[in-house]
Amino acid sequence: RLAIPLVGPWLLTNCTGAFPSTDVVVPLVKARAAGYQLGLRFEYVADRAAPSVPPCLTVFNISRVRRRRRRYSAAYVNGSPLLPGARGVPLSVGDIVELGLHPNRSNADTSALRLRVALATAGGGAGVDDASVGT
């Protein structure tokens, strides 16, 4: 169980050389061997138009790969692709975030990371629960 801090971004990557401020390193062996620098940034984003609404946990794909191979670095939020450089996706409780999947294979790929979003105990924020990495 991982708690996302309310201040500042929280990075989850497979390459500390490409992302020096990484908080958690994920052993995505096949992606690393192929040269893919995969990463997700979790951050609380507030809506300035509605200050009474609490900030929402948002995920951004910050992976670095060649332009032709962007689809190989896609993260998936509830099965929908999130490409590098795209707008962040707000997360809610029960959402599934996957990283390291090959687009032409099933979601049972053993080199993938799968996260489930859960509520935090204090402050009503969100966190990451049931993080699992295939072997």
Give the chain's domain count: 1
pLDDT at 55: 83
Query: Structure pTM?
Result: 0.74
- Residues pairing with 7 in the sheet: none
- Cα gap 44→48, rounded to integer Å: 13
Q: In this predicted structure, what is the pLDDT of residue 119?
A: 58
Query: Per-10-residue mean pLDDT for the chain, 135 residues long?
Result: 72 79 73 73 85 86 76 82 89 84 57 70 50 43
Q: Give the structural domain span for 18.
A: 2-133
Strands 10-13 and 24-25: parallel
Q: Give the C-alpha separation, 94 to 78, whole Å.
A: 9
Give one DSSP letter per residue of the chain, joined into a string.
-EEPPSSS-EEEES-TTT-TT-SEE---HHHHHTT-B-EEEEEEE--TT-TTSPPEEEEEE--B--GGGGGGG-EEETTEEE-TTSPPEE--TT-EEEES--TTS-TT-TT-EEEEEEE-SSTT-EEEEEEEE--
CB 94 within 8 A of CB 116: yes
| CATH code: domain of residue 23 | 2.60.200
Q: Return the pLDDT at 39.
A: 85
Given this model, what pLDDT does residue 22 score? 76
